[in-house]
Structure 1
């Protein structure tokens, strides 16, 4: 029997205040400013989880999440597992199309999954390690064969992991799809795109839940100097902006609504180490670095009241947060020095480059450099633009890099991307650990509604971090400043939903 899912749109429609504005006037347009610069518009290719915010208006997923983080239907209306839990059959809604008029069918789903698993620059290969094959049953039905029992698949297919680009567009020109002409089945259609500068989206009436989309147009301006975003809000250039923690008080004092909290949008900043490259081939060096890092300093200096010092890539209260990890490697520079000395390293003998994305992780790298210097580790900061940095990070050729990510729709996906072979955030891939694989198998085999799910998820998170190459620095709440005429967006971590969002005329 197919699992029947209640439509999320029906639930979200009542979440936002205000009345819908009509007629497509300027007041129905979201003028969005951000310092970020997306480098790819194909969800299969982009390795940036923050880019999900810009992709969700264009692409729809097979499933979605509501504000309770429960799986709800989107392009798919339901699913069914076999008794063994190693096959899942997905049923699509009837009569759906992509924005180019081609059908959303089982062939399109199979094509996308095959592309995820085989395309050379796919950023989702690691997330789909347990999906072995996709088989078309009929025009609306597709079956996924799994390598092992796995009840996490519906969450993997929600939002970023399940975004479905047009098969025709991807077949015709995958580079064009990714760079200049993204085509999905989401609520907004691309009408103009200036690479790395601007994108203009207009409401698409062919969207399956168009009745819950009241915003008529979204214009996103990228690469904006962060210091000009609040003044831009004040002057009316923007009515919606992603701001840094340092700007929250300025925006609040200017009378704008602030959406910030780990229940809504959160991120985690960390140091990725490549265990395949010296000096990190020595476990003692990794252990020493974990003692040398002071998450409290990062949270205090860079969190601006919205940061939390954590020794794991999840905030407190998250289902994968493990209390015990906080006590395993407390900040202890004397202990770090002792470990290095006993391993035979003299002061200053260990040195490496800290990679990262310029204008995003400058301060993080500087604080980290000073903390490592305090225990006798010499570092050189080398930050570059995203495209050049990504070649080394996603190609697993960097030795060390600071980076960050935002919350995943699937808790297990967050773990596999950090700690599994092929994980986009696992700089040491193909390395993975036996303890993590054993714990991962156990949590995959546990239904989401089982009382064992939470403990097994945390066991996998603990095994992954203890044996992995991620060194967490701090977690933080991402902040959005908006005009009061735009109603609040639903609070769903990991992406921005425009369902039920309305305008009122005048502030």
Structure 2
């Protein structure tokens, strides 16, 4: 059984304890947008991960430095020699917020819920799971359809590993996301749409180590300039997703510090190539390539983000070992763009791009709009609230959409759900059997060199078919009140509240 070293865990707990003798105060966090739902099974917006991380403990978490698995509700695991199953040991003495005990039966319930709920975004993440067996109250065996233990375990450190209270989930059904009950350090109190999400410390939390503040309020503020102003005025203590152009305003401001970390995700324009009547515009790969070639990624990164982001064109960063060097970030080629459009019979292409109200994507969309105009392409911009935009994308009610993926430690998490034929987030309904075969083979191999070659092959297929124009990979910039102690940035952009020490109240 792969148990995590007590010494390492004790050191981590000591570090958390050193931040505060006891939790106190109200921590206010400005998040990028109002989440869609607080149900980990059907949540899609990255902003939902912020409050859900406080409310819903996972079977595992990942470390901030090397993204290795660390214990949360599971204390260890053992992979069978044939790779066709793994066994989890569960933490004892854990209660859900409604008092229901956390045990192996609860884990089995959650796997079943993630895998079988209509509209679940976790289904693909757990697609390799064949069955879940209760060995004893603190032990679960997960049997697999193919040897994909490493991928499934990594996914259990994300929303697929969040455990909800079975009784509450059964009682609330589709309404569970309006009043989630989990086993995290904080319990849900209330949600005011477009106003705030409030959580407070759970008295019976399994970890007795002094934690964070007594209460946390998540405030959706879509404009990063407004988030920044709220941070500087003291209205909030943390502002997520500041943009590089915000940073000069903070120079010399002793009230605020900026913490940055590399980001696992990417921003991209997704083309509807096969989802309903609106797919006609981009069903021809030559049209998708034409738009892609008219975009200057380096110019976007330099002009809008002060070269703080990294231009990209694949589902992993150019710095990743899985990046396909045979298909580097393309240079802009307006003449080639015009030729492709003429060949496709649409020399005067016109289409609409859906964009959320977020400033970063709004400015980038306008920049791209001007670039495309030089290639004879008219791109209209339609602003939609992000949750509405994603709903329309799923229904095929779009030609192109400016989307963002927060990223996963394993490249499978950045690709499979978005481009495999049955991927739940494949809003374009793009389907390529050759690509599916490569991605499935990459899921099953335990050979690191073979896996790297397979993902490079997959990236090559996607580069030729241009399912999306991936534009850049961020660094996350988080604004933090200088008086707040214990904030640790994470590559998945999710804020862990545990261990933060609130500043003393002002009089």
Please, what TM-score do these two structures have when normalized by structure 1? Answer: 0.89
8 Å CA contact 2:21, 2:210 repeated in 1: no
The equivalent of 1:376 in structure 2 is 376
Q: Provide closer, same or farther for how the CA distance between residues 17 and 373 of structure 1 changes in structure 2, counting only shifts above 3 A.
A: farther
Matching of residues 248-397 of structure 1 within 5 Å: 248-255=247-254, 256-262=256-262, 265=263, 267-276=265-274, 277-327=279-329, 329-345=330-346, 347-348=347-348, 350-359=349-358, 361-397=361-397
Q: Provide closer, same or farther for how the CA distance between residues 411 and 492 of structure 1 changes in structure 2, counting only shifts above 3 A.
A: farther
8 Å CA contact 1:266, 1:478 repeated in 2: no
In the TM superposition, what whole-angstrom CA distance separates every residue of 1:394-432 from its partner, at most 9, and x where no partner exists? 234423211112122443212212222343442223x33
Q: Provide closer, same or farther for how the CA distance between residues 421 and 89 of structure 1 changes in structure 2, counting only shifts above 3 A.
A: farther
The equivalent of 1:40 in structure 2 is 37
The equivalent of 2:19 in structure 1 is 19
Shift of 1:111: 2.2
SS at match of 2:472: strand
SS at match of 1:56: helix
Gaps of 5+ in 2: none
SS at match of 2:328: helix
Superposition RMSD on alpha carbons, in Å?
2.7
8 Å CA contact 1:88, 1:143 repeated in 2: yes
- Counterpart-to-counterpart distance in 1, 2:406 and 2:398: 22
Shift of 1:302: 2.9
SS at match of 1:261: strand
The equivalent of 1:142 in structure 2 is 140
Number of residue pairs matched? Answer: 495
The equivalent of 1:115 in structure 2 is 113
8 Å CA contact 2:315, 2:414 repeated in 1: no
- Counterpart-to-counterpart distance in 1, 2:371 and 2:441: 37
The equivalent of 1:443 in structure 2 is 442
Shift of 1:249: 2.0
8 Å CA contact 1:61, 1:158 repeated in 2: yes
Gaps of 5+ in 1: none
Are 2:51 and 1:54 equivalent residues in the alignment? yes
- Counterpart-to-counterpart distance in 1, 2:17 and 2:478: 17
- Counterpart-to-counterpart distance in 1, 2:80 and 2:23: 48
SS at match of 1:302: helix
Q: Provide closer, same or farther for how the CA distance between residues 187 and 16 of structure 1 changes in structure 2, counting only shifts above 3 A.
A: closer
Find 1:239's aligned residue among 237, 240, 244. Answer: 237
Please, what TM-score do these two structures have when normalized by structure 2? Answer: 0.89
Find 2:102's aligned residue among 97, 101, 104. Answer: 104
Matching of residues 464-479 of structure 1 within 5 Å: 464-467=462-465, 469-479=467-477
Q: Provide closer, same or farther for how the CA distance between residues 11 and 19 of structure 1 changes in structure 2, counting only shifts above 3 A.
A: closer
- Counterpart-to-counterpart distance in 2, 1:184 and 1:402: 32
Q: Provide closer, same or farther for how the CA distance between residues 357 and 224 of structure 1 changes in structure 2, counting only shifts above 3 A.
A: closer
Q: Provide closer, same or farther for how the CA distance between residues 492 and 34 of structure 1 changes in structure 2, counting only shifts above 3 A.
A: closer
Shift of 1:476: 1.5
In the TM superposition, what whole-angstrom CA distance separates every residue of 1:320-361 from its partner, at most 9, and x where no partner exists? 43433325x33212211122223343x21x322212323453
8 Å CA contact 1:433, 1:467 repeated in 2: no
8 Å CA contact 2:354, 2:382 repeated in 1: yes
The equivalent of 2:131 in structure 1 is 133
Shift of 1:71: 1.1
In the TM superposition, what whole-angstrom CA distance separates every residue of 1:12-48 from its partner, at most 9, and x where no partner exists? 4466797315362x3xx32212341112111111111
The equivalent of 2:413 in structure 1 is 413
8 Å CA contact 1:12, 1:500 repeated in 2: no
